[in-house]
């Protein structure tokens, strides 16, 4: 019997790739054949995908980067990617195509639309991304990670939550050790690509903590390559125990061991925090499309599981004040951890799997 075949199309950031990985893991366990369509940027995040995932790099580009010439080449590169994807799909027809957003998902979704293949998209954020806006009315359904999500008229939305990777599910609801006069861990995450503002502000905030508190703290700080050296040097100069890396491959472990998470409010980060259940201080990316990171944080802040600091109000003193508020109040920190856990959707992957299986059984116009 021929195995069912799923094509996953995802863009080049962890926010798109991590939920795509979660779906790939689940469908492979069910015996499906899975192919990932992404670009060179996305390929950097494929190390965690099961080795049986087939990976195709497509021609893609984004209007958000480069000069005039680079932008002029975006349309031809995307067109070439669509043509290549259509040729591949004619030879090797997927039963379902699922897009997770980002420009690299355009070729597979556009080709699936032209060939009238069953298709759907997953939107991780509370506001549709640019690519998902284009395809929302051209797919069978929009699986939404955050609810409500503002959808265009005619689009069918279903709330499934944001899938998290198997490594996160293994730590789901891990026992939380409240802060106290013993070694404590703070995990600092700027999204899969780092965040300069966190590298500018967090080290100073940690240095400003009372010595009685700071002496117990160890920092795991994700910083961009170009910021790593100065961040490491600052921590070292102030006698702060810190590990600084451009990317942590073991975020689930580090998060489960943390007393506090300081993070952007990307959809995948928020999903991981809620499934594992940890207190957090969230700094939404101010330039995010439609301010979607603030929307992403809504469930955690509404449950009193997270403290939100807008970028415009963020400085080392303000952040230090909030860190002290969490780490000197173990009862409140434990309540925040439990509240975060109450907002999680550990079954999001299975819900999405169910939609994929349903779609495979019917034709999509």
User: Binding site, residues?
Assistant: 13-15, 125, 165, 192, 293
94: exposed, middle or buried (C-beta count within 10 Å: 0-12, 13-18, 19+)? buried
CA dihedral 275, 277, 279, 285 (to 10 degrees): -10
Binding-site annotation: residue ranges for UDP-N-acetyl-alpha-D-glucosamine: 13-15, 125, 165, 192, 293
Beta strands in the chain (DSSP E): 5-9, 33-38, 54-57, 96-99, 119-123, 142-144, 157-159, 184-189, 217-222, 241-245, 260-263, 280-282, 306-308
- Alpha carbons 254 and 47: distance in angstroms, whole number: 18
- Alpha carbons 95 and 142: distance in angstroms, whole number: 17
> What letter would DSSP give residue 162?
-
- Alpha carbons 282 and 262: distance in angstroms, whole number: 6
Of residues 125, 127, 128, 126, the one with CA closest to residue 137: 128
Report the Cα–Cα distance between both ends of the chain, in Å, rounded.
26
- Alpha carbons 307 and 281: distance in angstroms, whole number: 5
Q: What angle do CA 338, 340, 345 make, to 5 degrees?
A: 115
Q: Tell which phi-psi region holds residue 349, choosing left (phi > 0), alpha (psi between -120 and 50) or beta.
A: alpha
Of residues 11, 14, 9, the one with CA closest to residue 195: 14
Give the contacts of 181 (CB within 8 A, at least 6 positions apart): 216
């Amino acid at each position: 019997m021929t195995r069912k075949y799923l094509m996953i199309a995802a863009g080049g950031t962890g926010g798109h790739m991590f939920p795509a990985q979660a779906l790939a893991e689940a469908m492979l366990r069910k015996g499906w054949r899975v192919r990932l369509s992404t670009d060179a940027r996305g390929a950097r995040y494929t190390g965690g995908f099961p080795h049986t995932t087939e990976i195709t790099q497509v021609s893609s580009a984004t209007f958000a980067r480069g000069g005039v010439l680079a932008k002029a080449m975006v349309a031809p590169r995307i067109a070439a990617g669509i043509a290549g994807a259509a040729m591949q799909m004619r030879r090797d027809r997927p039963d379902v195509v699922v897009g997770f957003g980002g420009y690299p998902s355009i070729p597979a979704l556009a080709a699936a639309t032209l060939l009238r293949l069953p298709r759907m998209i997953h939107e991780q954020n509370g506001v549709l991304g640019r690519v998902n806006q284009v395809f929302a009315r051209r797919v069978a359904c929009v699986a939404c990670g955050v609810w409500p999500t503002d959808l265009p008229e005619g689009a069918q939305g279903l709330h499934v939550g944001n899938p998290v990777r198997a490594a996160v599910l293994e730590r789901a609801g891990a026992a939380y050790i409240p802060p106290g006069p013993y070694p404590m861990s703070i995990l600092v995450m700027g999204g899969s690509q780092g965040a300069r503002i966190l590298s500018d502000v967090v080290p100073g905030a940690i240095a400003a903590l009372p010595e009685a508190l700071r002496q117990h703290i160890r920092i795991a700080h994700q910083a961009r390559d170009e910021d790593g050296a100065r961040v490491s040097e600052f921590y070292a100069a102030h006698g702060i125990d810190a590990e600084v890396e451009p990317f942590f491959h073991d975020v689930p472990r580090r998060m489960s061991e943390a007393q506090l998470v300081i993070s952007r409010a990307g959809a995948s980060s928020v999903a991981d925090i809620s499934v594992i259940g940890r207190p957090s201080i969230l700094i939404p990316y101010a330039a995010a499309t439609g301010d979607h990171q603030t929307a992403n944080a809504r469930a955690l802040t509404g449950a009193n599981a997270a403290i939100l600091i807008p970028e415009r109000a963020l400085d080392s003193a303000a952040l230090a004040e909030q860190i002290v508020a969490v780490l000197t109040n173990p009862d409140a920190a434990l309540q925040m951890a439990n509240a975060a856990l109450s907002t999680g959707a550990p079954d999001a992957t299975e819900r999405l799997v169910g939609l994929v299986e349903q779609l495979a059984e019917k034709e999509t116009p």
